Structure 1
Amino acid sequence: MDDQHYRENITVQYCFPDSNASCRKEIKDGIGYFLLCFVLSCISVCTVFLNLLVIISISHFKQLHTPTNLIILSLAVADFLVGLFVMPVNIMQLMDSCWYFGTIACYISPIISFLAMYGSLYSLILIAVDRFIAITDPLQYSTRITACKTVLFIILGWSFYLCYVIMYLYFNDYFIQPELSTHCYGECVLVVKYSWAIIDLVVAFIVPCCLILFLYSTIFKVARRQAKAIRAVNNGASSKNGGKMLGSSEIKAAKKLGTVIFVYLTCYIPFYLSSVSVNSLTSTSMVWTVFCWLIDINSSVNPLIYAIFYTWFRASVKCIVTCRIFESSSSKFNLFSDN
């Protein structure tokens, strides 16, 4: 009965009626699909808008040009790509099973999707390393971690993952033999081999996440030791002030960015567990669709975390929304005046 009801609510047409090789088009015309696509479209717009605010804030205000914020900028760029390109494509494929943008766009689309995903992961690795050095060696932090070094590592990391994505798609026969996964005109499907699902699980998830978790476990062990040391010497004014400078602020920053990483793991673990549960996973399967959207929604959550935890973000957004950003001296505004 359910299958019959499902078939009654799907009108089968053709993607390109003038072509004999055209794929069949499935248009989901139920009210449920309309509401779902409307909600997802709102999420896409919010993702673009919120991450654009982060990008503008860190890029414009000189006070925010710190190594940690540059890594947050890298994360915001990855999330921005998800909202601008990945989400609209996924929404379109939910509404209409056809691919109208041609072969070249079909090749480029998964490159952008995977690069944005891996860009987020790499940014989180850099955040963990940055906080690890800030906590374990605070006196040498400013000399070991500079803005120039941070930009260099960001560029190198994104370049590495771009090469990895191209290799990943190449060895899944996505470039050289598209006919293996595409059987008609108007279809864009990625079929991931089980062997590469395992490789990707190890290279792009298990190893980076183990590294992140190890760094953060060390961070919080050191933070607890620092907290005990601060309490032990809190009777001396100078010691207490120094303890706050070297311990409290860095510990709070680690906890805030640790929240970002916890949300990331929550959104990504279901996708990677499902990727190794079957012999091959296609981009048209319902499992792929649901878990990919869970990953995409993670890109919407990150800027909300910034808005909750970071006063500089709220102050910079106020300047942007009130158009004070267009003042000649706006780049030198003090965003921490309320602290």
Structure 2
Amino acid sequence: MDDAPFTVQYCFPDNNSSCRKEVQTGPGNLLLYIFLSIVSVFTVILNLLVIISISHFKELHTPTNLLILSLAVADLLVGLIVMPVNIMQLIDSCWYLGKMACSIYPVIHFVSGSGSLLSLVFIAVDRYIAVCDPLHYAARITVGKTLFFIILGWSFCLFYVIIYLYFNEHLLQTQIITRCYGECVLIIKYSWVIVDIVLFFLAPCCLILALYSAIFIIARRQAKAVSAVRNRASQTNGTKFSSSSETKAAKTLGIVILVYLACWIPFYLSSLSVESLTSSSMVWTVFGWLVYLNSSVNPLIYAIFYPWFRASIKSIVTCRIFESSSSQFNLFPENF
């Protein structure tokens, strides 16, 4: 042993077709694993708080909050499954979860990402109608319709991912490689990267930006109109409250979308500069984790800007949620 400067390690020593293990050691790597693990845990906890809050408190059962719930579910999948699996592969490059998980994991990975973007598209449409046509909003956007579109959207994302991963391998040149026992590498060719950027990034993001541009133009016009009416009559408090509430909600969700774009744009730009991407490449790892961090930031934005989220967290942490009448709690301060 003393004469050997390097000992080859295998993912599964008892298997003759096992892959070699590439262990990443050192204090720097250890600190990185600890940090990423903490990020994963906090992502799960924060998004669970969002899901429990909106699901439990009846006052939060609104179309907009259902869309936020859909976004939180996508972010929860990232923190619960995607992040831990990536941390596992960073540690020693081995895949210990078997062939079935190797086939299922890419589906979860891509569905969570596409589900996030689709939820943001729905949120943008919801805010556009709320701000631009407030008188007909309640009739046009209902809880039932919102649930239907959420289910339809997630079903489309699942169908889309399965088609390109497993049924169009030769057309899209996307494949999962397992050259030895303990390997699970997804290779995405350049041709598919272009298709994916257009269908699941550029088109939805252009639609979102167009809707939010229209929202803020109309919100500014409404603010001027309300100010003019207020100067003529003092009985406009109700109108002012409604207008400012919808505008504030649009601004908060606009921040969520800007953060999303800031996290995803580097990944897509870098993907254009390489001929193919693999899940084991450094580009995929670095910019992939920037994308994952977006799932941690979203609930923090809610905590900063939404009083109802802070109030619901307080009820959950203090265990008041277990009271028989807790679902009827008032989570909105009078000054909101």
Normalising by the smaller structure, the TM-score range is over 0.9
Note the alpha carbon deviations across 1:6-56, whole angstroms, 9 max, x for none.
Answer: xx9x96411112222111110111111110000000000000000000000
* Secondary structure in structure 2 of the residue aligned to 1:261: helix
One-letter amino acid of the counterpart of residue 29, structure 2: Y
Aligned equivalents of 2:120, 2:127: Cα separation in 1: 11
Aligned equivalents of 1:93, 1:195: Cα separation in 2: 26
* Secondary structure in structure 2 of the residue aligned to 1:190: strand
Superposition pairs of residues 246-265 of structure 1, within 5 angstroms: 246-265=242-261
Aligned equivalents of 2:104, 2:291: Cα separation in 1: 19
* Secondary structure in structure 1 of the residue aligned to 2:21: strand
Superposition pairs of residues 193-208 of structure 1, within 5 angstroms: 193-208=189-204
8 Å CA contact retained: 1:11, 1:28: no
Which of 88, 92, 98 aligns to 1:102? It is 98
Aligned equivalents of 2:321, 2:157: Cα separation in 1: 34
* Secondary structure in structure 1 of the residue aligned to 2:274: coil
Aligned equivalents of 1:198, 1:86: Cα separation in 2: 23
Gaps of 5+ in 2: none
Report the equivalent of 2:58.
Answer: 62
Which of 250, 262, 266 aligns to 2:262? It is 266
8 Å CA contact retained: 1:11, 1:27: no
Alignment length, in residue pairs? 329
Aligned equivalents of 1:94, 1:199: Cα separation in 2: 28
Report the equivalent of 1:126.
Answer: 122
Change (3 A) 1:14 1:207: same
8 Å CA contact retained: 1:135, 1:223: yes
* Alpha-carbon offset, residue 227 of structure 1: 1.2
Aligned equivalents of 1:22, 1:306: Cα separation in 2: 46
* Secondary structure in structure 2 of the residue aligned to 1:227: helix
Which of 230, 237, 240 aligns to 1:241? It is 237
Report the equivalent of 1:115.
Answer: 111
* Secondary structure in structure 1 of the residue aligned to 2:47: helix
Aligned equivalents of 2:333, 2:242: Cα separation in 1: 21
Note the alpha carbon deviations across 1:30-89, whole angstroms, 9 max, x for none.
Answer: 111110000000000000000000000000000000000000000000001100000000
One-letter amino acid of the counterpart of residue 246, structure 2: E
Confirm or deny that 1:284 pairs with 2:280.
yes
Note the alpha carbon deviations across 1:133-157, whole angstroms, 9 max, x for none.
Answer: 0011000000000000000000000
Report the equivalent of 1:164.
Answer: 160
Which of 191, 195, 205 aligns to 2:187? It is 191
Report the equivalent of 1:5.
Answer: none
Confirm or deny that 1:45 pairs with 2:41.
yes
Change (3 A) 1:36 1:173: farther
Q: Percent identity?
A: 69
* Alpha-carbon offset, residue 260 of structure 1: 0.2
Which of 6, 23, 29 aligns to 2:19? It is 23
Aligned equivalents of 2:213, 2:55: Cα separation in 1: 31
* Alpha-carbon offset, residue 241 of structure 1: 2.4
Note the alpha carbon deviations across 1:260-280, whole angstroms, 9 max, x for none.
Answer: 000000000011112221111
* Alpha-carbon offset, residue 237 of structure 1: 3.8
8 Å CA contact retained: 2:51, 2:73: yes
Aligned equivalents of 2:239, 2:308: Cα separation in 1: 23
8 Å CA contact retained: 1:11, 1:26: no
8 Å CA contact retained: 1:74, 1:154: yes
Note the alpha carbon deviations across 1:169-202, whole angstroms, 9 max, x for none.
Answer: 123469x996x73221110000001111100000
* Secondary structure in structure 1 of the residue aligned to 2:9: strand
Which of 296, 306, 309 aligns to 1:313? It is 309
8 Å CA contact retained: 2:43, 2:295: yes
Aligned equivalents of 1:297, 1:173: Cα separation in 2: 33
Report the equivalent of 1:335.
Answer: 331
Report the equivalent of 1:223.
Answer: 219
* Secondary structure in structure 2 of the residue aligned to 1:24: coil
Change (3 A) 1:246 1:73: same
Moved over 3 A (4+): 236-239
* Secondary structure in structure 2 of the residue aligned to 1:259: helix
One-letter amino acid of the counterpart of residue 282, structure 2: M
TM-score by structure 2 length? 0.94
Report the equivalent of 1:4.
Answer: none
